[in-house]
Every structure is written in structure tokens, then in C-alpha cells.
Structure 1
Amino acid sequence: MSDFFFYLGLGWNHIINFDALDHQLFILALAAVYTFANVRQVLILVTAFTIGHSLTLALSVFDIIRFSSKWVEFLIPCTIFITALNNLFRIDKRGGSIRLNYFLALGFGLIHGMGFANAVRIMLARDQRMGWGLFGFNIGLELGQIAVVALILILAGIFLNYVRVARKDWIFFISSGVFALALKMAAERLP
């Protein structure tokens, strides 16, 4: 069980850590169009991301698939700016296209999962139970994402309800900022 808790903490830190800006920006881009009224949809969306992330992480750790880390590190910010751009194009639609957002989260989760695979593959020794380690990591990842989403929704609630920022302006501000940061990250990571 100690392996489980070790990897749970590792998954939590994978999202909460200050070095996890790319994952935090992706979650911010996903959640920017939602409010607490949509909390169920946002949690399903984050879970779709975790499923995609978990699938490629497991396939990579078990050495079924491998991708160049340079390309993965480049593609991760690309997924972020595409998600932010989607928000900007759909700014007038309440909640955006729910189905499209689920596919973005699941599909882009596949790419993000490869980003941490090399580190996890090295940490998981052959004599450990890989399944428990992966399970713990993914539970920690999900809990970390829920914490980030909660913070985003709280901030959205404050700005939309108390500061009285228009919803369109909130989405535009958040998505534009995320787009710009992700575009810069992608340019810096170009293979």
C-alpha cells in the first residue's frame, strides 16, 4: 500500500506542482467556459482528460508505445492553445460545445499522458506492482485536477458574480492569456 500512496502523491504533485504549468493551463483552458452551475460537466470533462492521460501513461509505462519526448513536449502546449482557441471561437455559446470539449479533453489527455511516461517508467521498478503504482498516480492526478478546477470555478464565481465581469469578457481574458502562454511554450519547444 505504501507504493500506492507514494504514486498518489506523485500524481497530485504532477498537477499541483509549480513546474506543472502546462497541465494547469490546459485545465484552465478546459474549465474557462464553465461555472459552478456546470460543476458536474466540468468533473466529467476532467475525468475524460484523466482517462486519456491514464491510457497513454499505462501504454508507455508497459512499453507498448513510445514517442519522442521532444515531440510530446512540443505537442502538449499545442493542445493547450487549440483548446483556448476553441473557447475564443465559441465565446458566445453558453458552455461551449459540450461534446467537442469531451473529445478535446480525452484526445489531448492521450498526448499529455505521454509527457510524464518516461519519468514514471524509470521510477516503477520491475519488481513492484506496476498496476498499483499507476492506479495511485492516476487517483492523485484526478484529485489534483479537481482541486485546480475548484480553484478556477471559485475565481470565476468571484469575478462573474461579485466583481461583475461579463461572462464573455472572462472567457476572452482567460482564453487569450492561456493561448498566448501556450503559443510561447510551443515556440520554445519546437523540435
Structure 2
Amino acid sequence: MSNHTCRLEQALLLVLLAFFSAAVLAHGVDDSTRSFLQQNSGVQFVPFLYIGAKHMLTGYDHLLFLVGVIFFLYKSRDVLLYVTMFTLGHSITLLWGVLGNIQVNAHLIDAIIGLSVVYKGFDNLGGFKRLLGYQPNTRLMVLLFGLFHGFGLATKLQEFQLPEEGLLTNLLAFNIGVELGQFAALAFILIAINFWRRLPSYERFATLTNTLLMSAGFMLMGYQLTGFAVL
């Protein structure tokens, strides 16, 4: 292996570790966004579009799950299919949760989102096949966990008791923003993964990445369940 290749692998590994280190940081609503949401009234399409995109780009739990989902997808058609399943799931429960005022405990929902990250890392490592002898339907699981991710997005917005005036339009703008942020993040992730697939260390990289996914998911679950327990 050349020195140039080693340096590239080390650089990519540092980026990967930095990305996973972000999992220990909160991705809640910052002060400026909080202030806007608390004072907002009427249709605010562009601001909600921006807030949705920013929330997805800083939403490490959603991104970690998506990393696991697309990690072993080699065809653009498959990436599009699975991302569409995830998008459909979280769009349904985001709108339903807020418009229907469906009250769910944010800590429990976020713990399930952490579980989704554990599931995908375990699945990618072939854990289900080795442990149970079969693999759950991956499309169905992505859709199912997408529903929980949508409730997670909904609980963030429900904290602010958004006014009814312009609510549907603002929610649609927020959801579009989430998709735009998701697209931007996926583009970067796919470039990094596709580049590493050409390197000799890809098999080690794949094992390490999915092990880190499981570790991050367990950390998220523990953090949220602790928060639920001390309420």
C-alpha cells in the first residue's frame, strides 16, 4: 500500500471519527431559531424551509441512520428507493404528529431513533443472519423507523405550540427543508463512501463504521432513557 493511499485513508478516518464524535453533542434548537419559533405568526415559508434544512444537517441521529441505510447500496436506484421509504415515513408522522397534536414522549421517541441506528449497524454487520438465520425486510424496517424519526421531528416543533394560522404551509416548508438538508448530507456521505470503496481498507472501514454506528446508537439510547427516567 502506497504512502499516498495511507494518508488518504487516515484523513478519511479522521473525518469519520469527527462525524461520530458529534453524536455526543445535542442537536436541539439554537437560541435564534427558538426565538423565531416562539414569536412566529402566519405563513413563514422561507424561514421554515431554512430551519428544516438546518435541523437535518445538525440532526446527527437521523444522519447516522441514513449512513447505515445507504452504506451497502451500490446502485443509485436502490439509494433513491430506500431514501424515499425513509422520507415517506418521516413526512407522514411529522405532519400527523403536529397537525393532529399527537403527544408522544420526546425521550422515548429519541431512544427508539437511537435503536434504529443500532439496528442498521447490526444489520449491516450481518448480525441478524448469524443470530437468527434470516434478515428482516430492510425496506419495511426503513419505512417503520422513518415513522419514528418523523415523530422525533414533530416533538421538536410541538415544544413551541405553533399558531394555527399558516401552520400547514409552514410544516410543508419545514419538511421540504428537511429533504433538502437530507439531500445535501447524503451527497457528501455518498462521495466519501464511494471513494473509500476503491481503497484496500474498505472492508476494515465498513466493519469499523458499522461498529461505530451501533456504539453511537447505544449512546443515544442511554442518554434519552436516562432523561426519561429522571423526569
Q: Which band: TM-score by shorter chain? A: 0.7 to 0.9
Q: Tell me the distance in 1 between the aligned counterparts of 2:138 and 2:182.
A: 16
- Larger Rg over CA atoms: 2
User: Cα–Cα, structure 1 residues 2 and 98, in superposed 2: closer, same or farther, change >3 Å?
Assistant: farther
Q: Tell me the distance in 2 between the aligned counterparts of 1:165 and 1:123.
A: 49
Name the structure, 1 or 2, with higher relative contact order (CA <8 Å, separation 6+): 1
What percentage of residue pairs aligned between the two structures are identical? 27
SS at match of 2:102: coil
Give the TM-score normalised by structure 2.
Answer: 0.70
1:98: Cα distance to partner? 11
User: Cα–Cα, structure 1 residues 160 and 72, in superposed 2: closer, same or farther, change >3 Å?
Assistant: same
**Aligned residue for 1:176?**
211
User: Where do 1:1-191 residues align within 5 Å?
Assistant: 3-17=44-58, 20-35=59-74, 38-89=75-126, 100-121=137-158, 122=160, 124-128=162-166, 130-161=167-198, 163-166=199-202, 168-190=203-225, 191=228
**Aligned-pair RMSD on alpha carbons?**
2.5
1:64: Cα distance to partner? 4.8
Q: Tell me the distance in 1 between the aligned counterparts of 2:60 and 2:152.
A: 13
Unmatched segments (≥5 aa) in structure 2: 1-41
1:91: Cα distance to partner? 10
* Matched AA of 2:80: L
User: Cα–Cα, structure 1 residues 98 and 82, in superposed 2: closer, same or farther, change >3 Å?
Assistant: closer
Detail structure 1 runs of 4+ shifted over 4 Å in the superposition. none
Unmatched segments (≥5 aa) in structure 1: none
Give the TM-score normalised by structure 1.
Answer: 0.83
User: Cα–Cα, structure 1 residues 73 and 91, in superposed 2: closer, same or farther, change >3 Å?
Assistant: closer
Q: Tell me the distance in 2 between the aligned counterparts of 1:145 and 1:40.
A: 17
* Matched AA of 1:14: H
